[in-house]
Amino acid sequence: MSTEQPLPVIDHDSAPYWQAAHEGHLDIPLCGDCGKHHFYPRAICPHCHSDNLNFDTVSGRGEVHTFTVARRPAGPAFADDVPYVVALIELEEGPRMMSRIQTDDPEKVHIGAKVEVTFVKASDEITFPYFRMT
């Protein structure tokens, strides 16, 4: 990974999520009213608009909903990574999130592939949840 990888600008909505990822678990908001998880973290539930939300540690398991193999980098910071797989992961708990699939063979990635989270430290503050096929 290039050292110039753009890092997230953490805000009040996302701070607990990034903190948890840094500690090695995947925490996303769970609504106390409708009982649904959501991602990315917000101050109100996008399903029922309740603000009765708490972060919940989820399984880290899911499947590839869709993906692309980037053959051209998203700017110079990613030039060394090409080809790499950017995917939308559908978590077992429902929400979708963007991440990377860690693989030696991008051609093996397919829609529906089962994946689990793996954490990759990027800086003293930031650890990214990536996924691996299981």
Partner 1 sequence: MKNGRDPVIVGLADAPIEDGKFVTKASVLGHAALVAKAAVEEAGLTLDDVDGLLTAGMWGVPGPGQLATVTLGEYLGIMPTYVDGTNIGGSAFEAHVAHAAMALREGYCEVALIVYSSDQKSLRSRNLGGRPSVLSMQHETPYGMPTPVGGYAMAAQRHMHEYGTTSENLAEIAVATRKWAQLNPAATRRDPLTVDDVLSSTMISEPLHLLDCCLVTDGAGAIVMTTAERAKDLRTKPIAVKGYGEAHTHWAIAEMPDLARLLPAQKAGETAMKMAGVSHSDIDVVEVYDSFTITVLLTLEALGFCKIGEGGDFVSGQRTAPGGAFPMNTNGGGLSALHPGMYGIFLLIEATRQLRGVCGDRQVAGAETALVHGTGGTLSSGATVILQKD
Sign, CA dihedral 61-66-71-77, equals negative
**Binding site partner of 100, from Zn ion, partner 1, none, Cβ cut-off 5-8 A by kind:** partner 1
SS3 for 11?
coil
Interior angle at CA 15, CA 122 and CA 94, nearest 5: 90
> Rounded to an integer, what distance in angstroms lies between the CA atom of residue 89 and that of residue 127?
17
Residue 127 interacts with partner 1 (CB under 8 A)? no
Residue 16 interacts with partner 1 (CB under 8 A)? no
Residue 94 neighbours by CB under 8 Å, 6+ apart = 36, 37
The minimum distance between CB 29 and Zn ion, in angstroms, equals: 9
Considering beta carbons, is residue 33 or 80 the nearer one to Zn ion? 33
x/- contact string, 79-108, with partner 1 (CB under 8 A)? --x--x-x-x-------xxxxx--------
* Number of residues engaging partner 1 in binding (CB under 8 A): 36
Per CB under 8 A, the segment of 19-27, 29-37, 51-59, 62-70 that binds partner 1 is: 62-70
Per CB under 5 A, the segment of 50-58, 59-67, 102-110, 116-124 that binds Zn ion is: 50-58
Contact set with Zn ion (CB under 5 A)? 31, 33-34, 45, 47-48, 50
